[in-house]
Amino acid sequence: MKLILPCIDDIELIAQSTLDQLQTMVGFSSDKLEQSKILINEAVINAVEHSLTEMNQIFIDFEVRYDELFMTIRDTGKGFEVSEITVPNLTSKIEQKEFRGWGLSIMKNLSDDFSIHSDENGTQVRINVHLID
Amino acid sequence: MKSDFSIHSKLINEHLVIETNGYINIHGGESIAKVASSYIDSGVTKIILNLANSKVINSIGISLLIEVIEKLQVVNGTLYFTNMSPTIEKTFTIMGLFIFAQKSETVDAILQQSNS
C-alpha cells in the first residue's frame, strides 16, 4: 500500500486509517495495531514538522511480508544530521521546560527494527513491527 | 481532518479523575492540560488519568502530559495513569514518565490506596 500525503496538521490520521484497513485484511492483533499507529504517528509528525520541503508531500509505503509489517516514511526535505540528535532525558527536559523531541527515541525503542537515513535530498525512516510475538 | 476526542472529569475524594476518549494528540493533550491546570490552581494535587478509552497517543500529546507532571511537581502533587494499553505503557516507560508519575491498573485501586 502506498500513500502520498500533504504536509498538514493531523495528516497522520490518514496513515492510522490505512493501518486499520490493513489490520482488517491481514488480521493482526489490536496491540500490534496500536503499536504501529504510535510509530507511524511519530514518523509522519517528524516529516511534517521538520522536512521543510517545497514539494510539501510525505511518501509512505506499507508492506506486510510473512508476519512482519514494514513501514517506510520518506520526505524530500533538506534533511538533518542524524548523529547530532541526542537521546532525550526527561529530567533535563522538565528542568529546561522543553517537553518536545521524543519522536526518534519512541520509534527506535517501540519498534522491532528501525533505521533512518537523512541527507540533503530528504529523510527516510524504515520501521518494522513483528505482527506475531 | 480532526480526530474524535472527548474528556470527562470529576473530583473524587480530593482526586481529580480525568477520563479520556480517543486519540491524544495536541488537541487532546491541550484539553487534558487545561482541565488539570485549572484544578491544580484551585488546590488539587492528585490527578488520575484514566486511559481506558485512549489507545493511541503521540509525542506532542505526551509533552502536554509532561507539562502537567511539571506543574504538579511544584505543588508536591502526583499524576497517576490507569488502564493503560500495553503500547502506551511501554511508550511512557521509554520516555521515563514513571520516574515522575505513578501507574495503577484501575482508578479504584488508587482511591482505595489513598483511603487506607
Which residue in B has a C-alpha nearest to residue A93's C-alpha? B66
Do B66 and A106 lie within an 8 Å CB cutoff?
no
Residue A13 structural domain: 2-130
Structural domain count of chain A: 1
**pLDDT 10s digits, B35-59:** 999 999 999 999 999 999 999 999 9
CA A103/CA A82 separation, integer angstroms: 13
- Long-range pairs, B99-106, Cβ under 8 A, ≥24: B99/A90, B99/A91, B100/A90, B100/A94, B100/B69, B100/B73, B101/B69, B102/B78, B104/B80, B106/B82
Do A90 and B66 lie within an 8 Å CB cutoff?
yes
Strand-pair partners of B95:
none
Closest among A121, A109, A126 to B95, alpha carbons compared: A109
Chain A residues bordering chain B (beta-carbon distance below 8 Å) = 10-14, 16, 30-31, 34-35, 37-38, 41-42, 45, 88-91, 93-94, 97, 99-100, 102-103, 105-106, 109-110
Best of A36, A106, A114, A130 to disrupt the B interface (most B CBs within 10 Å) is A106
Which residue in A has a C-alpha nearest to residue B97's C-alpha? A90
Chain A: closest CA distance from residue B30 (Å): 13
The shortest CB-CB distance from A38 to any of B56, B60, B97 is to B56
Q: In a structure prediction context, what are the per-residue pLDDT tens digits for chain A, which is 133 residues long? A: 999 999 888 999 999 999 999 999 999 999 999 999 999 999 999 999 877 766 789 999 999 998 999 999 999 888 888 888 888 999 999 988 888 889 999 999 999 999 999 999 899 999 999 998 7
Q: Which residues contact A95 (CB under 8 A, 6 or more apart)?
A: none
Do B87 and A45 lie within an 8 Å CB cutoff?
no
Predicted pLDDT at B4: 85
Q: Which residues contact A109 (CB under 8 A, 6 or more apart)?
A: B94
DSSP structural state of residue B34: H
CA A36/CA A69 separation, integer angstroms: 8
Q: Which residues contact A29 (CB under 8 A, 6 or more apart)?
A: A131
Strand-pair partners of A72:
A61, A126
**pLDDT 10s digits, B4-38:** 899 999 999 999 999 999 999 999 999 999 999 99
Which CATH number goes with the domain that contains A58? 3.30.565.10
Count contacts between A and B (CB, < 8 Å): 80
Cell of B103: 501507574
pLDDT bucket at B1, cuts 50 / 70 / 90: low
Which residue in this structure is represented by grid cell 526518534? A104
